[in-house]
Amino acid sequence: MLKVNKKLELRERVRKVKEMLRLSMDGSTAARLRHLGYKLTFGVTYPRLRELTAEIEPDAELAESLWGLRQRETMLIATIIMPTECCTPEVADKWVSEAFNEEIAEYLSRNLLIRLDFAGNIVESLADATEWQKMLIGYSLHSRLLMNDRSIDAMIERYLSKSVDDVHNTDKRALSAIAFFLKQVARREQYLDRVKSIIAQLKTSESISAQWVAEEVNTFVEYSL
């Protein structure tokens, strides 16, 4: 296995990462991912990517370069190897703005943003987002804060209050993140009735998206709580 460490020149480090990816290429997976809008993808499965990153030292300079290539695998690796102490609010904001599809947005939230001390500030800054990618990241990151008991009541209330409108106004690609957030909030007994009320509102909507979210969350509430 190729080892990528900080002693190598940046260009050589990038080359080694791309060589690792080339050796793990999967054409059938690449074909299935084309609908996500990638111009180039090696088709490496996410579990395999996690294995490959074990051979790469955390490195902000390399992470920035890989992210900038705007290729699926290099961007996902960047979210894993970026050291938290090097990811400033400015860098985080830039990456959030550049997460161009649901896979990149979700893994950016899951792999990097949740590790940041200022993750709560990111959630707050995205509370009024209208772009579906930013909305997806806001709900996804907020869900992970809830799972780690790092959210606050005021922010939970803010997101709950806007959830019905967001379901109706956003792209369908953000719906799973909103549904996941409502499921995590429902785990808190003091918010369960509030979530049930939101489910009831969504059920009466003529929107297929709203009905889908209602069914997803209601099934969770009925069978998992």
Domain regions of the chain by residue span = 1-86, 120-225
Mean pLDDT computed over every residue of the chain: 95
pLDDT (tens digit, 9 = 90+) per residue, 28-70?
A: 888 888 888 887 899 999 999 999 999 899 999 999 999 999 9
What does the alpha-carbon distance between residue 62 and residue 158 come to, in Å, rounded to a whole number? 37
Architecture of the domain whose range is 120-225: Alpha Horseshoe (1.25)
pLDDT (tens digit, 9 = 90+) per residue, 159-217?
A: 999 999 999 999 999 999 999 999 999 999 999 999 999 999 999 999 999 999 999 99
pLDDT (tens digit, 9 = 90+) per residue, 89-128?
A: 999 999 999 999 999 999 999 999 999 999 999 999 999 9
pLDDT (tens digit, 9 = 90+) per residue, 185-195?
A: 999 999 999 99
What does the alpha-carbon distance between residue 144 and residue 140 come to, in Å, rounded to a whole number? 7
Confidence of residue 1 (pLDDT cuts 50, 70, 90): very low
Element (H, E) at 213: helix 208-224
The one-letter amino acid code at 194 reads: R
Query: Please, which residues have CB within 8 angstroms of residue 30's CB and are 6 or more apart in sequence?
Result: 41, 42, 43
**Token pair listed for 74:** 């290099």
